[in-house]
Amino acid sequence: MKKRFDPRSVGVWFPRTVKIEYRPFTTYFKGFDKVEAVRKTFGPQTARVLRSLMVEFFSSKWGYMGVNDEDGHLVVSAYYLRTGNPRDIYLDVVHELVHVKQFRDGRKLFPEDFEYSTAPTEIEAYNVCIAEGRRLGMTDKEVLEYLKVPWMDDKDWRRLARNIGLKLPAPKRKRR
């Protein structure tokens, strides 16, 4: 049986139910300024950046979270916060904060010349959040499962896993 992840075990807290609104990140997401992966991302400006970051909650069963490519604010599904796995939510916040940093550095979050699984911005963000997952004790199998998202097929999932240095199990062969 899997051990249930408690975000407080890494010193963070986030709500499971939110109103659909636009608010400061630190009103809802507590303790992320103390997370080493986040501190490495933003350096000495960590607390200031997180205090100035806005988060927009939206109501939809589709989607998780992302960064708005017009002004760099965080966009989060209220449904995902309510129903998602707490460890995945935590790792997704770490991942998206890397994108916030990339946006603030003037990098293009959705480069046209790349697919999701090969985009340098995604590989960088996944490397940070997977390292954090490893720190939490995630196994290869759990990390690979975390990487599975609805917008990637098996081929793209395998490509992303390889691009972030994960060893994959052999593909299942179809029986004839």
**Is residue 57 within 8 Å of 76, Cβ to Cβ?**
yes
Q: Give yes or no for residue 1 having a pLDDT over 90.
A: no
Indicate if the pLDDT at residue 3 is higher than 80.
no
pTM of the model: 0.86
- Report if residue 93 sits inside a domain: yes
Q: Establish if 173 belongs to a structural domain.
A: no
Tell me if 111 sits within 8 A of 121, measured CB to CB: yes
Confidence grade of residue 60 (pLDDT, cut at 50, 70, 90): confident
* Tally of domains in the chain: 1
Percent of the chain at pLDDT above 70?
Answer: 97
The residue range of the domain holding 129 is 10-163
Give me the pLDDT at residue 176, please: 64
Whether 111 is in a domain gets the answer yes
- Mean pLDDT in the chain? 92
- Residue 169 belongs to a domain: no
Pairing of strands 54-58, 74-77: parallel
- Quick check: is 170 in a domain? no
